[in-house]
Amino acid sequence: MAGLTPLRMIAGFVIAGLLLSACAAPSERRLVSIREGELAAGYLRGQLLYVETRGVRESVLFRHDLWENKRERIRVPEGFADSPTWSPDGERIAFSLTNRAGQSHIWVVNEDGSDPQQLTFGDVVDDHPSWAPNGEFLVFGSIRDGDYDWRLFVVRVPTSTTYQRPMSRIERESDEASSVTIDEGFIATFRDLTAGEVRSIASDDGHSIFPDWSPDGRFIVYSNRDGANYNLRIHDVTTGTDRLLVDSGGDDMQARFAPDGARLLYTTNFEDDLWQIWSHDFATEEQTRIIGSDSMDEFPAFSYDAEFIAFSTGHLAIYRADAEPFPDGQLRWAVTINLAWSPDWKAP
Amino acid sequence: MIQTILQFPVVTLIRVMLGVATAFVLLPALVLPRPMSARTTLDVMVVRGVRWLAIALLVSHLLVVVRLFHAAPILLLCAWLWFWTRGKSNIRTANRAADNNIGAGRRIPPLQRVWLRFADIMHLFEQAGRGVFSNWWANAVSFMQNIVRSIFSVRTLRIAILLVPVIAIVGTSLALRVEQSFRFETLSPPDTYIYLAWAKAFAANQLYVDGLYPMGLPAFIAFTGKLTPGIDLYELVRYTGAVIGMLTVAGIFYAVLRLSANVGAALFASGVFGLFGTISQWQQPWIRQTGPLPQELGFAIALFALPAAVLAITERDPDHLRTVGFAAVAIGLIHPSALGLYLAMALAGAIAASVFTANGNRFVLAVGLSGALGGIIAHLYLPIGVLAGIGLFRGLDQPFSRAELSGSREEQIISIMGTSGLGHNLFSLTAGGAALLAFIAAVFLVRSARTKRIGAQLAGLAAIGLVAVALYDPRWLQIPTNILAPLANVAGVGLTIAFAAGFAAVTAVLFSAHRPSLRPVVRTSVLIVLAAACVLSFSFLFERGPRTRAPSEYASTAAATREIMRNQDAFTYTLVGTPQQRQAVAGIGTFIELWVFARDVTVRDAQNPGFVIPDLSAMLFAADLGQSLPIPTTDTYIFVEKVPFPVPERPPVGPTEEYYYNREKRGRIMAAVYAWAEFYRHYHTNMSVYFEDDDIIVYQMSRRPNPVAAAAAPQFKDYTWQPGELFTGGPKGPSEVVIPWQD
């Protein structure tokens, strides 16, 4: 066979194989859209506080009236405002504010942003305040006193009026007494605190952060890391004792009590490193997954009647407590972190 | 085990060389017809290679335009099948012999020819069964026996011994050029990273991603990549530089050998450049011989094609003109300064040969027209691209900012050159003298009818060398300085041709005068020994400079990057690093510039255990993104230089120069990211140290982003340059950062 020498033929087949093996189309990436949902007015009651980031050094606090579906900016001093939380009477808002020097302090303002008061001072990093149910104290995490671990501290909030817990809508409508009664013991613990004075509590080793005060005031749940991961611990304010609450094997953080104090929500990443929202039931001591989307679900907060859960999943999302998205999936708001649902009485 | 062996540097180099050989020697041999002007097997290989390169580059560009470059292997396969089945009249099978409708002078359609060829193979098996393989085996064994016999026969043993200096020179030249690739995983010089990124883009059917610029080198790399399976483009680029460097050496050898027919001169010229390319007098920085750069590739192709311009005159064979034209296309697609040099040298050689033969004026014009036509074809991308709305690459429309080029024109040129200043010296003047000597010898040679052609060719060679001498100091050319410098860089290589012409002249005169009847084998032996002696003596004549490297990152940085790329699936990781790492992971992983990361993170965030770098789902809902920092992948690797890499300082003409080629700002960026990472690691549980040595530290951060959002947008950062506003204060390096809990 002229022209088809064995050598040429072998070379030909080698080339053919080589070419075919190299003929792989480059992978192409497709743009995938995500379904967006808009919240209509008249579906939900209450007001949400949340933070919208504006770059890394500035943020904006918003108060969103869910019933009217309108939001209003709360003007606070310049800096990166974070971790807003309603006072129990819904009149004031506590938050942390980071200045250009990287110092963070706890501030309190009225709900419209007026009368800003700085509660903590100095070269410190204070964050994640949580109100005591009587509105007189705030517990918060802090890096201070030359210690580079997070610790929990309590500060008294200056107030000129005598606090009286308002009646909830449910209570008003049902004429039943509240199932939550404030434990007077914790008030006694901090009675001698003067305004602006801070006191350390729950002096565990490692980092202690994300405190949340129970509705009856007796307990403070918080995250503690004394090893590889953050666990949830609960501190009894009246006795000063402390115990492990949740140790999932991952990081357990951002715990928030339900309005009745019978359970709490928290964020954990023990399953496949994916941040999900779980619930801990104090009666059964069982943990249940509430929300586990494909995104990083963080900063959960119960609504006043515990029927809904708001959380941040890059944007703000509201689900029914039984984990059904409401009303139409996600709300189309900007990058949100650290949100808080208003106390029940603010519902119309 | 096999994978480990395949990753050995030597094996990788061999695979790359085989890939280049397959792409530009074997494939053209299978597809292109034998050039009519070729005299020897070497000629056939070279001419086919040059023509094939032009075709391959042009077709590659067209395939990318129609987004079908990934189908190039299929087209090559079709081309090969077409060549393989060209012998259409060769009827073999019984069916074909019986069927009068097939063959018998009728033109068989191409597809049918393919099937008939396969039918021929089946027919072979039908006839001989397993005997086909035994026949092939017998042929192969016989072939090998012939080679062994020829090597060890008494007669060729002498030649084999004489090949020792040749092998030594080639081996040493290759070893010198590949040494850096063996020792370091970094690419050098820094430009190489750009060509790596462009080659990746080219392979993904993207052309002129950064504006109009000759894409010949990326096309060369991408095309070779199609024929080196199992080697990614990074490895290919890493070793292609040495291959291109050796192409230059081989090109010098071929050009001199073809025009002077003097193996000694060819060996001397290629050997002296192969071994002593480091000396400052070459004006060819050593790093340019070790990394794949377009000027060098273009000039290497020019060296192979230059003989055609002279031979077109002396042999009066129009087929040489095709080679001249094809080469102009290939070189033009690779780099304009190499094309200009090639055209100047080709014309000079042709004119000189024409003068000495006194009968080639028409062919000189044809050489000029062929070259010009090739150059025009090669540069069609410019008007087409401009019409298509593609801007010029920054280096073309605004070569260097005024801030960068201060001082006199001479100072600017020297600044760009980065090596010794321009201007003639003993080295270039000696080369000029050698070329003049060759002209004188040519005058004597052309007087005899027997040596007239070789005399004219020697004159052509000398003229080519003289162009190199003239452009060694190109300040007399009123062209932009950014073109002038690379022109002088590459022209310096051409001085070897002038030296070779002088060598050829002296030996030709010696042999003609004293030993006209010397036997060829003795003559060759004398020439080789003489050349080897000249190469060795060369090292004593001129000052040697240190061999330079121009890495732009630590070797461990490149090694860690490569390891991450090997261990992680595509697009499951993000590198936070310098532009070099950006090019390395382009098309494979996502990337964030270190300066952008340093701009957008705060230690305060790092202190917050609740802070998680968001994924892209946030971006899809955000009205005002600001400078938020989403990262779309599960793993993020943050590269920090504990000791900022000692980069050469460059004027701040862009963010790369301001942030990475300013040592102070580079140090501040590293300090900021180092502080952030150390604080983050202290307060978070999802960060660990992936790699650390004395120079760098690589942090690994893992979290699970939304997979849908992660795939949504590749370009998610604000890279707006804010000249002079960022990194104006703070620690000047990680060593100045105080981490309180560390000793």
CA angle B616, B619, B625 (to 5 degrees): 135
Which neighbouring-strand residues pair with A278?
Answer: A266, A289
The Cα–Cα gap between B462 and B434 comes to 8
Q: Would the CB atoms of B570 and A27 count as touching at under 8 Å? A: yes
Confidence of residue B475 (pLDDT cuts 50, 70, 90): confident
Sheet of A230-236, strands arranged across: A207-213, A219-225, A230-236, A242-246
Q: What is the pLDDT of residue B22?
A: 92
Residue A238 contacts residue A155 (beta carbons within 8 Å): no
Q: What is the pLDDT of residue B712?
A: 52
Q: CB distance from A170 to chain B under 8 Å?
A: no
Tell me the range of A45-54, A155-164, B31-40, B71-80 where mean pLDDT is highest: B31-40
The Cα–Cα gap between B472 and B741 comes to 60
| Type of residue at B454 | I
Q: CB distance from B663 to chain A under 8 Å?
A: no
Residue B621 contacts residue B688 (beta carbons within 8 Å): no
What separation in angstroms does the CA of B50 have from each of B35, B322, B371, B378?
11, 10, 14, 14
Phi/psi class of residue A97: alpha, beta or left (left: φ > 0; alpha: ψ in -120 to 50)? beta
Helix segments in B7-84, DSSP class H: 9-21, 27-31, 41-65, 72-84
The Cα–Cα gap between B268 and B715 comes to 53
List, as ranges, residues 587-606 from B with C-beta within 8 Å of A.
Answer: 587, 600-605
Q: What is the pLDDT of residue B683?
A: 92
**Which residue of B90, B571, B604 is in closest CB contact with A3?**
B90
Q: How many CA atoms lie within 13 A of A334 on its CB side?
A: 18
Whether the pLDDT of residue B125 is over 90: the answer is no
Whether the pLDDT of residue B674 is over 60: the answer is yes
**Which residue of B204, B602, B708 is in closest CB contact with A26?**
B204
Q: CB distance from B615 to chain A under 8 Å?
A: yes
Residue of chain B whose Cα is closest to the Cα of A229: B685
Mean of pLDDT values over A198-221: 87
Token pair of B469 as six digits: 């001498």
Token pair of B22 as six digits: 């397959």
**Which residue of B229, B604, B621 is in closest CB contact with A332?**
B621
Contacts of A225 in chain B (CB under 8 A): 609, 685
Residue B251 contacts residue B345 (beta carbons within 8 Å): no
DSSP state at residue B570: T
Whether the pLDDT of residue A171 is over 80: the answer is no
**Which residue of A24, A54, A299 is in closest CB contact with B70?**
A24
Reported for B229-235, long-range contacts at CB under 8 A and 24+ positions apart, including other chains, are B229/A18, B229/A21, B229/A22, B230/B6, B230/B15, B231/B12, B231/B15, B231/B16, B231/B19, B232/B565, B233/B196, B233/B199, B233/B200, B233/B203, B234/B187, B234/B196, B234/B562, B234/B565, B234/B584, B235/B12, B235/B16
- Secondary structure (3-state) at A8: helix
Sign of CA dihedral B434, B438, B439, B441: positive
Residue of chain A whose Cα is closest to the Cα of B222: A22
Confidence of residue A329 (pLDDT cuts 50, 70, 90): very low
Concatenate the DSSP letters of all residues of A225-275 into one string.
ESSSSEEEEEEETTT--EEEEE--SS-EEEEEE-TTSSEEEEEE-TTTT--
- Secondary structure (3-state) at B502: helix
> Which backbone phi and psi does A181 adopt, to 5 degrees?
-120, 140
Residue of chain A whose Cα is closest to the Cα of B630: A314
Whether the pLDDT of residue B32 is over 70: the answer is yes
Q: CB distance from A299 to chain B under 8 Å?
A: yes
Q: What is the pLDDT of residue A291?
A: 79
Q: For B345-359, b where at least 16 C-beta lie within 10 A, e where not — what string? A: bbbbbbbbbbbbbee
List, as ranges, residues 97-136 from B with C-beta within 8 Å of A.
Answer: 117, 120-121, 124, 135-136
Q: Would the CB atoms of B229 and A18 count as touching at under 8 Å? A: yes
Whether the pLDDT of residue B622 is over 70: the answer is no
What separation in angstroms does the CA of B513 have from each of A91, B45, B444, B478, B507?
114, 35, 11, 45, 10
Reported for A234-241, long-range contacts at CB under 8 A and 24+ positions apart, including other chains, are A235/A152, A235/A201, A235/A202, A237/A185, A237/A186, A237/A189, A237/A201, A238/A183, A238/A185, A238/A186, A238/A188, A238/A189, A240/A201
Q: CB distance from A210 to chain B under 8 Å?
A: yes
The Cα–Cα gap between B113 and B111 comes to 5
Q: Would the CB atoms of B87 and A3 count as touching at under 8 Å? A: yes
Between A49 and A245, whose confidence is greater?
A245
Q: Would the CB atoms of A6 and B713 count as touching at under 8 Å? A: no
**Which residue of A1, A34, A273 is in closest CB contact with B704?**
A273
**Which residue of B628, B686, B704 is in closest CB contact with A55?**
B628
Q: Would the CB atoms of A22 and B205 count as touching at under 8 Å? A: no
- Could you tell me what percent of chain A has a pLDDT over 70? 74
A113 to chain B, closest Cα gap in Å: 23
Mean of pLDDT values over B31-55: 92
Q: What is the pLDDT of residue B490?
A: 86
Whether the pLDDT of residue B403 is over 70: the answer is no
The Cα–Cα gap between A93 and A99 comes to 18
Whether the pLDDT of residue B148 is over 80: the answer is no
Mean of pLDDT values over B115-133: 72
For A64, residues 6+ apart whose C-beta sits below 8 A from its C-beta are: A47, A48, A49, A50, A70, A71, A72
Q: What is the pLDDT of residue B624?
A: 45
Count of residues making up chain B: 743
**Which of B712, B715, B615, B714 has its CA nearest to residue A312?**
B615
Cβ atoms within 10 Å of A37's Cβ, excluding its own:
15
In this predicted complex, what is the ipTM?
0.78
Contacts of A80 in chain B (CB under 8 A): 604
Residue of chain B whose Cα is closest to the Cα of A60: B624
The Cα–Cα gap between A126 and A151 comes to 9
Whether the pLDDT of residue A30 is over 50: the answer is no
User: Which residue in A294, A297, A331 has the most chain B C-beta atoms within 10 A of its own C-beta, making it the best mutation to test that interface?
Assistant: A294
Chain segment B357-384, per-residue pLDDT in tens: 877 678 899 999 999 999 999 999 999 9
Token pair of B56 as six digits: 């391959």
Question: Rg (Cα) of chain A, in Å, rounded?
Answer: 26
For B309, residues 6+ apart whose C-beta sits below 8 A from its C-beta are: B320, B324, B345, B346, B347, B349, B350, B367, B371, B460
Q: CB distance from A340 to chain B under 8 Å?
A: no
**Which residue of B87, B203, B621 is in closest CB contact with A333?**
B621
Q: Would the CB atoms of A148 and B609 count as touching at under 8 Å? A: no
Q: Please report, in angstroms and rounded to a whole number, the separation of the first and last CA atoms in chain B.
A: 43
Contacts of A335 in chain B (CB under 8 A): 614, 618, 621-622, 625, 628
Q: What is the pLDDT of residue B640?
A: 96
Q: What is the pLDDT of residue B406?
A: 55
Q: Would the CB atoms of A210 and B610 count as touching at under 8 Å? A: yes
Confidence of residue B455 (pLDDT cuts 50, 70, 90): very high
The Cα–Cα gap between A340 and B1 comes to 58
**Which residue of B605, B621, B711 is in closest CB contact with A32?**
B711
Whether the pLDDT of residue B705 is over 60: the answer is yes
The Cα–Cα gap between B321 and B329 comes to 12
Longest dimension (CA), chain A: 109
Cis link prior to B9 (omega < 30° from 0)?
Answer: no
Between A120 and B426, whose confidence is greater?
A120
**Which of B483, B467, B489, B477 has its CA nearest to residue B422?**
B489
Kindly report which listed range (B120-124, B176-180, B545-549) carries the lowest average pLDDT score.
B545-549
The Cα–Cα gap between B263 and B256 comes to 8
Contacts of B620 in chain A (CB under 8 A): 33-34, 36
Residue A277 contacts residue A311 (beta carbons within 8 Å): yes
List, as ranges, residues 57-116 from A with C-beta within 8 Å of B.
Answer: 57-58, 80, 98, 102, 104
Mean of pLDDT values over B574-599: 88
Q: Across all residues in chain B, what is the average pLDDT? A: 83
The Cα–Cα gap between B85 and B82 comes to 5
Whether the pLDDT of residue B514 is over 60: the answer is no
Q: Residue B742: enclosing H or E segment and its boundaries?
A: none
Confidence of residue B456 (pLDDT cuts 50, 70, 90): very high
**Which residue of B609, B627, B703 is in closest CB contact with A56?**
B627
User: Which residue in B232, B571, B600, B604 has the most chain A C-beta atoms within 10 A of its own C-beta, making it the best mutation to test that interface?
Assistant: B604
- Secondary structure (3-state) at B508: helix
CB burial of residue B90 (10 Å; 0-12, 13-18, 19+): middle
Confidence of residue A22 (pLDDT cuts 50, 70, 90): low
Q: CB distance from A294 to chain B under 8 Å?
A: yes
CA angle B243, B246, B251 (to 5 degrees): 125
Confidence of residue B714 (pLDDT cuts 50, 70, 90): very low
Whether the pLDDT of residue A177 is over 90: the answer is no
**Which of B191, B152, B260 has its CA nearest to residue B502?**
B260
Q: What is the pLDDT of residue B626?
A: 43
Q: Would the CB atoms of A16 and B77 count as touching at under 8 Å? A: yes
- Secondary structure (3-state) at B400: coil
A36 to chain B, closest Cα gap in Å: 8
Chain segment B523-582, per-residue pLDDT in tens: 777 788 888 888 888 777 766 666 666 778 898 999 999 899 989 988 889 999 998 888
> Which backbone phi and psi does A76 adopt, to 5 degrees?
-125, 165
Confidence of residue A330 (pLDDT cuts 50, 70, 90): very low
Whether the pLDDT of residue B617 is over 60: the answer is no
Contacts of B86 in chain A (CB under 8 A): 3
Confidence of residue B294 (pLDDT cuts 50, 70, 90): very high
Residue of chain A whose Cα is closest to the Cα of B85: A3
- Secondary structure (3-state) at A73: strand
User: Which residue in A296, A298, A312 has the most chain B C-beta atoms within 10 A of its own C-beta, making it the best mutation to test that interface?
Assistant: A296
Q: How far is CA B375 from the centre of its chain?
A: 20
The Cα–Cα gap between B117 and B103 comes to 12
Q: Would the CB atoms of B618 and A314 count as touching at under 8 Å? A: yes
Q: Would the CB atoms of A4 and B711 count as touching at under 8 Å? A: no
Q: Would the CB atoms of A225 and B609 count as touching at under 8 Å? A: yes
Q: For B229-251, b where at least 16 C-beta lie within 10 A, e where not — what string? A: bebbbbbbbbbbbbbbbbbbbbb
> Which backbone phi and psi does B634 adopt, to 5 degrees?
-70, -45
Q: CB distance from B623 to chain A under 8 Å?
A: yes
Token pair of B716 as six digits: 């998610």
Whether the pLDDT of residue B679 is over 60: the answer is yes
- Secondary structure (3-state) at A329: strand
Between A210 and A329, whose confidence is greater?
A210
Q: CB distance from B256 to chain A under 8 Å?
A: no
Contacts of B725 in chain A (CB under 8 A): none
Q: How large is the angle between the packed helices B336-357 and B426-445, nearest 10 degrees?
A: 30
